[in-house]
Chains A and B, each alone.
Chain A
Amino acid sequence: MHDIMTSPPPPDFEIRIRPNQSWLRIDLRGLWEFRDLLVLLVRRDFVARYQQTALGPAWAILQPLVMTLVFTVVFSKFAGISTNGLPPILFYLCGLLAWNYHAQTFQLSAGTFTTNAELFGKVYFPRLVVPFAIVLSNLIAFAIEAAIFALFWCYYKFFTPAGAQFGTDARVFLAPLLLVQIAAVSAGSGLIVASCTAKYRDLRHALPLIVQVWLYLTPVIYPLAKVPARWQWALAFNPLALPVEAMRWSLLGRGEIHSAQYLCSLGMTALLFFGGVMIFQRTERTFIDTV
């Protein structure tokens, strides 16, 4: 029975182990072979984060609500920063929906090497599976936040006079595509930082600072239109700025998106993602020698 159950490798099965494989070679076949691992890692994250801890799901609900409240009080009421004519709560919730997903994914994938050093030292599998699993498992928190946002959206739309100020149409179907772009930015930048921290351990301490600065350079707290015209070009270098603004445009019907700017943002996203994957693959092959 033992022999029937074990399939012998096909006669041409071959693993070639050699140094300095091309930068451009992305191990797609390896990733495909380990697709089950991807699913199981997502499941592990889900169980570990939401099933085994009482506060898990509550935390995912509480965090955006508290942040929205703080933003509304501090930035909208005290500082009087414009919310583009939208109800501040909806404005910030929508921005945070995109931002929180990015911040989580970016930080977790940036720690790929440091948190998995022991595992990577013992067993081989395509290392990219780990950050890709992070990209997917963070969708759970995103879904929870999206549900909260939907609740507030309905409340404001149907029970308050502000309901006339916003709305959506077929544009809502662009939101998943925007999410894909945000995921690509988060993963790409996370992979680059992960590769750098593999070499420079102290870079890890800079991570919270990077996240904080990035938040202020992204139109989460303020609308894109508030950026002065002579600084608008700089937005192209933050691939996150346009999709966050576009998220509001898609879900709330407000915001200005210029196609030229957006093309630039898409280009930056592709650069970041593929650059990140390449640098990551370059690093993973000898990472364990430096531990």
Chain B
Amino acid sequence: MRPIIELERISKRYRLGRIGSTSIRDSLERGWQRLRGQGGNGHVPRADFWALRDLSFTIASGEMVGVIGENGAGKSTLLKILSRITEPTRGEAILRGRPASLLEVGTGFHPDLSGRENIFLNGAILGMRRREIERKFDEIVAFSEVEQFIDTPVKRYSSGMYVRLAFAVAAHLDPDILLVDEVLAVGDAAFQKKCLGKMGDVARAGRTVLFVSHNMASILALCERAILLKGGRLINNGPTQQVVRDYLKSTIAEEIVHLEERTDRKGDGSARILSCKVESVESGHFVSSSSRMKFTLAYKSDRPLKHVRFLVTIYDYTNTGIYLFDSDAVGGIPESLPAEGIVTCTTDPINLTPGRCYINLALFRGTAMADHVEQATSFDVEADEFYSTGRVPAREWVLCLLQHQWSWQELAR
């Protein structure tokens, strides 16, 4: 079977300085200057911005694909082109099915029209035929829970009723291809949840979904495949787990956190921690629940150090300490160290629930605190297959994970 979405070298150029329309006066002035051969000074250099560059990929019917990338990577432009709101500058896309996007909820509603009339108008704007709307009308009304007010102009609706009715229409579109931009999805958390639920329904009905989101958790939960965009180009296209992992790796721009500039530090200053690097032993900057951690600290002093002690503290956003890695308690640092050098600390699997962790660093000479940097850096723990079910509790409930077994035995009577 041929793919339901096929992109062939799609590119989209925006002309900077031409976004926003010009005025006739500007155009005339420019034209006049060109006529007089003064193209040099009055001419505004045209800056081009390529929102998408040579984007090619295919999506098979029934697939649910996530699109991820930083702001400005071209995700929204891609959806705009596929929903035909704007056209590409180059390339071609073929859709072998009817597309619809959930960002259209409530567009075209007219306040003076009744709920009934708006269902028809909105449905038609979204591409439904009149007979199709008639057939689904009762279902839509029931779904929206505004039966009593169906012949009242929607300007008298509460905002909740308005959104419910608008969503009910969109939810009954039955598109072959659903395009969802989570960033643009309006409404509160409950409404967004409803949108996600609708997406799941559509996918289960065997339809194709293209889902743009910043939320890695929902991408991981909903999509088998993900596409990573960067600077308008396709960087990665593959199983969600792997693409998300690569993406998170790439978002940490600076690998080493430099601390020389930090002035909010304590200690006598006889030795300083210059920088630290936080990574997982297995996969660099991607840290997940079962990662083993590696901390690399660079230090400097004006003389060789004796009886030196390094401390790394990990704590959560409530300032609750989770782990303390103490070189004195474990050993491994020689009696004396040169004036400048690097120490590393590696751990067993950290067993933490997904969420952000913060790090304090400290350096002692004997009993004297030489340096102490609070919140030197932070890292994010991502969810993984810590338990083979893939289900881990949320950070709001607990901090730590522990392997454990359940068993059952019959009561002896």
Contacts and interface: CB of A to CB of B under 8 A. Distances in A.
Contacts of A122: 85, 103-104, 107
Given A17-B92, A17-B95, A124 B113 contact: no
Interface in B91-115: 91-99, 101, 103-104, 107-108, 110, 112-113
A207 interface: no
A13 B117 contact: no
Given A44-B117, A47-B117, A119 B108 contact: yes
A199 B117 CA distance: 34
A5 interface: yes
A108 to B, nearest CB: 15
Contacts of B249: none
A264 interface: no
A123 B83 contact: yes
Interface stretch (B119-127, B254-262, B291-299): B119-127
Contacts of B95: 14-15, 17
Contact of A203 (B24, B101, B127): B24
B94 A16 contact: yes
Nearest to A2: B205
A39 to B, nearest CB: 8
Contacts of A169: none
Interface in B17-47: 18-25, 27
Interface size bracket, A side: 35 or more
Given A5-B135, A123-B125, A125-B127, A286 B87 contact: yes
* Interface size classification for chain B: 35 or more
Contacts of B120: 40
Interface string B216-233: 000000000000000000
Interface of A is mostly: helix
A202 B24 CA distance: 7
A288 interface: yes
A285 interface: yes
Contacts of B127: 33-34, 124-125
A8 B205 CA distance: 12
Interface in A170-220: 198-203
B125 A290 contact: no
27 contacts: A3-B205, A5-B135, A8-B176, A14-B95, A15-B99, A16-B92, A16-B94, A17-B92, A17-B93, A36-B129, A36-B130, A43-B117, A52-B112, A119-B108, A120-B85, A121-B85, A122-B85, A122-B107, A123-B83, A124-B83, A125-B125, A200-B24, A202-B23, A202-B24, A289-B19, A289-B86, A290-B18
Interface of A: 2-3, 5-6, 8-9, 13-19, 33-34, 36-37, 39-41, 43-44, 47-48, 51-52, 118-125, 198-203, 285-286, 288-291
